[in-house]
Chains A and B, each alone.
Chain A
C-alpha cells in the first residue's frame, strides 16, 4: 500500500502529517513483522522528514544522469544537436558549442541524431539518496545538489524503494509540476494537506485536477482548520471530496513540532485523530492491512 502526502501549496503541514501517520502505522504494526512501514521523503529540494523521524543512515548512493560529451575532432558544427534539443541545452555558435548541463533532461536526442556520431553519453552526479532505519521503520530520502534545476531523477531513485514494504508513506514536494508527478507515480492513495486560506484553496484546486487526471483516489486533511475561512470546506462539499482530518491551530502542536518531537507519541488527542485518519484510509481502500 503506497500512500502519498501532497499539498499543492508549500508549508501546509505535509511533513507533519506524513511523519506522524507513518509513526502511528509503525506503532500499530510493532512486533508483528519487521520493517513493515517505509517512509520515503521525495521532497528532494529540501528534505526535512529526517528531522522528525531521526533515522540512522546505513547507505548512501549517488544519483547519476546521462549528459552528452562532444568529440570536437568529429564534430562539423552542423547544429543538428541544437535543433533536436527540446530543452535548449545546446547552442552551436559558429565554431563553438556550448552545453548547459543544468538544462539537459538526458533524453539522448542529440546523441541519437548526430550525423557525425560525435556525441557520446557520460554520467553526471546530480544528487544522492540515503537510506536507513528509524526503529522498525525503513527510511529513504533524496538530496538534490545545490544549483541543480531538475529533481525527478533523484525522486525516481527514492521511489525505487516504494514496493518493499506493506505500507509506504511518501512525502511529496509542493506544487503540481514534474517533481510532484514523479513522486505520485504508481501510488494507491493520496492525502491532500491544505489550509483554509485563499492560497491553500487555490493550490489545492490545482492538485485536485492533477489527482483526478491521474486517477488517484484522495482525501483531504485541513491543517490549522480553525483559522482562515470556510471556503476550503465548501469546496470539498461541492466537489464531494472527503475531509478525513482537521487539525486545529494549537500551541502545543507548534511547540512539539518546532522541537522535532512526535505528536502521535506525545499528544494523546493527536494520536486518536491520526488513528481515526488511518481507519478512514483503510476503510476507503477496503484494506486488509
Chain B
C-alpha cells in the first residue's frame, strides 16, 4: 500500500500541480491501491518561516511514503531526507491527475 501526496493549487484532481512544497495551498493524498483520495489545506501555507519544515512534519504525521511536487527548499530537503519519503518531480503545467498517471507509469523523475 503506497500513501502518496501531491502538492496542488486547488482541491480537485483537475487542479494544476503546485510546484512549491512548503507554500502549496493544498495537499492531495492518494492511496494508490485503494484509490482513496483526500484533499487537505496546507496548515503551514502562511507560516512566516519554516513552511517547508512544517509541511515535512505534516507528511510524516500522515504516514506519507511518496511526495510529488515541483521543488523542495533547503530546510524541507534536510527534513525530508531524514524521513525516507521519496520525492518525485512534477511541473506546473501538469494537472494532479496527470501527475498521478505519470507516476504510476514510472514517468516521473525522483528528485530526492
Contact = CB atoms under 8 A, between A and B. Distances in A.
Interface of A: 79, 82, 87-89, 91-94, 96, 98, 100, 103, 149
Given A82-B57, A88-B44, A103-B75, A94 B83 contact: yes
A153 to B, nearest CB: 16
A88 B44 CA distance: 9
A65 to B, nearest CB: 16
Contact of B60 (A88, A94, A100, A149): A94
Interface string B69-90: 0000001001100110000000
Contacts, number: 44
B54 A93 contact: no
Contacts of B61: 79
A100 B56 CA distance: 13
Contacts of A91: 53, 56-57, 60, 79, 82
Interface in B31-72: 44, 47-51, 53-54, 56-57, 60-61
Nearest to A96: B82
B57 A100 contact: no
B79 A98 contact: yes
A103 B51 CA distance: 11
Interface residues of B, number: 17
Nearest to A85: B50
A216 to B, nearest CB: 24
A87 B52 CA distance: 11
17 contacts: A82-B57, A87-B48, A87-B49, A88-B44, A88-B49, A88-B51, A88-B54, A89-B53, A91-B60, A91-B82, A93-B57, A96-B82, A100-B53, A100-B75, A103-B49, A103-B50, A103-B75
Given A88-B51, A91-B82, 7 more contacts: A87-B49, A91-B56, A91-B60, A94-B60, A98-B53, A98-B82, A103-B75
B47 A93 contact: no
B82 A100 contact: no
